[in-house]
Amino acid sequence: GDGMLVVLTQRDKRVDAPGPGDLYDIGTVSMVHRVMKTPEGNLFVIIMGVSRTHIDEFVQFEPYLRANISVLGDEKEDESGVDFQALRRTVVSQFERIIKLSPQLPDDLQTIVINIEDAGRLADYIATNLPNLSIVSKQFVLEQIQVRKRLEFLNTELAKELEVLELRSKIQNQVQEEVGKSQREYFLREQLRAIQRELGEADDTQREIEELRQKIEAAGMTEEAKKEAERELGRLGRMSPAAAEYTVTRTYLDWLVTLPWSVLTTEKIDIIKAREVLDRDHYDLEKIKERILEYLAVLELRPQGKAPILCFVGPPGVGKTSLGRSIAGAMGRKFVRISLGGMRDEAEIRGHRRTYIGALPGQIIQNIRRAGSRDPVFMLDEIDKLGADFRGDPASALLEVLDPEQNVAFRDHYLDVAFDLSRVFFITTANVLDTVPSALRDRMEVIELPGYTEEEKVQIARNYLVPRSRENSGLQPDQIEFQDETIHFIVRHYTRETGVRNLERQITSICRKQARRLLEGKDPRLVVTPQVVMELLGAPKYQLEEEVEERVKRPGVVIGLAWTPVGGDILFVEANISKGSRHLTVTGQVGDVMQESTKAALTWVRSYASELGLEADFYKEKDVHVHVPAGSIPKDGPSAGVTMVTALVSALTGTPIRPKLAMTGEITLSGHVLPVGGIKEKVLAARRAKIEELILPAQNEKNVKEDIQPELLREIKIHYVKTIEEVLNLAFEKPVLRVIPTEPVQQAI
């Protein structure tokens, strides 16, 4: 009767007959200004908002809603503050810029906004007129009785809208510029063609098409490729050179005619020369060299045979990539290489379809063209570091490339015709195989490149690294000399790797320093001794032998052996016993498997408490802490089981283990020692640390005999064990077990 209404917003606009539960609790008290009836019989009501209001309780539901309400006023605060004024001016400034960029907003809004003095009314007015502000956001502004919160929310929303509008304006300007440029180029090209016709000059387009036709005939394409090239050439002849499609088709034809469809390396294979090249570039690696020479022999007898697909697996710095280059030299073929590390886009392998702007063939076809023949040595480096995302899976795309049954008709998305890759000698490299999909791994012949021994590193340094570093530093052979003793010293005290990359860095550093000394007028000839190395490179970085001897003197410290993607390493396991209440703590960033090994080790020790001279309930008043140093490095795996047991027994009995002894092996609750992997890498790591005795699972004896040369074992005595009792008897100077049980023991309770 007084012309006043409460206007509420629906929570879900799809509800045709909303009830009280479908409406927001906060709305607007409004005055009816005018009511008009439309020709369709509906009412058109013009209202004016008066104030915010809260619905306290609905008191009537039919024929219309009535409710008790509370009028909400703005919470006033000091608007003269510097931060409040800065917020207000920022909101007004952003809204003024939006008015200029939005064609649907009238310019007089700017005048209105500037003249609104009340900050609350200003926020409400801007929220009402802000384009693209959602109903939910407007309701949020309505519900805020604190003016500052309204302004802060609007400041964020205005910034978002302003960013969108500025980007849209930038895009529109770019489009207009491109359209104007294209039109101008079209008119200029038409005028140029008209002038050329008047002068009687030959049509360059026709001459270009004729050249392409001759190249197609001479390219030696397959029937499918030739047919597609001729079809595209016909389309090219019907296009205007000014058309955008003309350049796309012309580029496609360039790719087709420049690929080596029928170009093969014609050099006759010389097995003797190939062997010399491989021996010249790489030391040892006999298995790999034999495999390459076998393939070359088969290729000589059967030239049409398919090339093998090899996968070199090994730690960094052992020569995987350089070996591929040497293989190409031994075969007299071109060498191309792409790095797959971090590659996530399938199109990098198969190329983009020509419908995309700037499309190109994939890396396979690009490098085949770069090689200039269809039988290069093609290295796919770091295949274990391929990624995958929404753009596809490059590893799946490689399935076709690395399958001899399929790559005879490899189809790049850009070319869209088959290309024969069967004569390409593919070599892949990886540090580990765990991340290589099994389907891809099955297509490759895996050849492992283990880490080098100290003697091998010395030979490599003397024959390869020293001459190369000397030459790269501009030195002559008589200006610097490395003794074998010195190289041994550098390997032991300045590098800790399975490869030789860091060794070469250290040698190169010494050569650089000698080059500087020469120019400063110092020693014209330098004989590098261990003392000189310490003067030039500083104090030794690694004192592994001293560290091993010092740490194992204490009870509870045992040396284990670990395998990592970069080779083998020794691993210290420390156990400490303190007063407490049956708590087991495992630290050192160890994984779930290693934690479970620790629990199994403790259970075994509790089972053998009496045999170890411990009280049966010793664990009730003890806390056990097992720590694996180098806590910043994640560690996991079951191979430290015997090491955990030995460390616990050593700590509980107060007996240190024998010096220079290391061990590896998985344990069971019944005390059996199970085989583990990475034996060769672990044995080499033990040699580097000058370990004299090793305890290995008996089932790993065959791995030692097959993978490790006998001369590498001269300085190490290996004990093969089947049970943890044997381990303990070997690990300590005096027996710690009073009675050796003959039957497996059940889990301790």
Active site residues: 639, 682
* Residue 536 tokens, joined: 């030039």
Residue 313's Cβ-side half-sphere holds a number of Cα atoms within 13 Å equal to 18
Q: Provide the 3-class DSSP secondary structure of residue 474.
A: coil
Q: Provide the 3-class DSSP secondary structure of residue 567.
A: strand
Report CA torsion sign: 418, 422, 427, 431. Answer: positive
Q: φ and ψ at 62, to 5 degrees?
A: -130, 145
Q: How far is CA 450 from the centre of its chain?
A: 24
Cα–Cα distance for residue pair 563/233, rounded to 1 Å: 59
* Residue 454 tokens, joined: 């100290």
178 membership: H or E segment, kind and range: helix 147-199
Closest residue by Cα to residue 702 from 727, 675, 681, 724: 675
Question: Is-contact 93 114, C-beta < 8 A?
Answer: no
Q: How far is CA 173 from the centre of its chain?
A: 38
Cα–Cα distance for residue pair 381/310, rounded to 1 Å: 12
Largest separation between any pair of C-alpha atoms in the chain: 113
Cα angle: 686, vertex 691, 696; to 5 degrees: 65
Question: Is-contact 643 573, C-beta < 8 A?
Answer: yes
Q: φ and ψ at 7, to 5 degrees?
A: -100, 125
**How many residues are listed for the chain in this entry?**
749
Task: Quickly tell me which residue has 């020509």 as its tokens.
Answer: 354
Cβ-proximal residues to 472 (8 Å cutoff; 6+ apart), any chain:
508, 511
Residue 402's Cβ-side half-sphere holds a number of Cα atoms within 13 Å equal to 25
Question: Is-contact 734 728, C-beta < 8 A?
Answer: no
Closest residue by Cα to residue 121 from 538, 129, 444, 562: 129
Q: How far is CA 742 from the centre of its chain?
A: 51
Cα–Cα distance for residue pair 698/683, rounded to 1 Å: 15
Q: What pairs with residue 427 in β-bridges?
A: 310, 379
Q: Is the peptide bond before 315 cis (omega within 30 degrees of 0)?
A: no
Residue 747's Cβ-side half-sphere holds a number of Cα atoms within 13 Å equal to 5
* Residue 254 tokens, joined: 């360039």
Cα–Cα distance for residue pair 334/368, rounded to 1 Å: 10
The CA-to-CA distance between both ends of the chain, in Å, stands at 84
Closest residue by Cα to residue 699 from 647, 664, 743, 660: 664
Give whole-number Cα distances, 235 to 230, 360, 627, 711, in Å.
9, 20, 73, 71
Closest residue by Cα to residue 465 from 487, 485, 494: 487
DSSP per residue, 205-272: HHHHHHHHHHHHHHTT--HHHHHHHHHHHHHHHTS-TTSHHHHHHHHHHHHHHHS-SS----PPP-HH
Cα–Cα distance for residue pair 498/479, rounded to 1 Å: 30
Q: φ and ψ at 307, to 5 degrees?
A: -75, 145
Task: Quickly tell me which residue has 């790489």 as its tokens.
Answer: 282
Cα–Cα distance for residue pair 160/737, rounded to 1 Å: 74
Give whole-number Cα distances, 19 to 26, 27, 42, 63, in Å.
15, 15, 21, 12
* Residue 176 tokens, joined: 């207009």
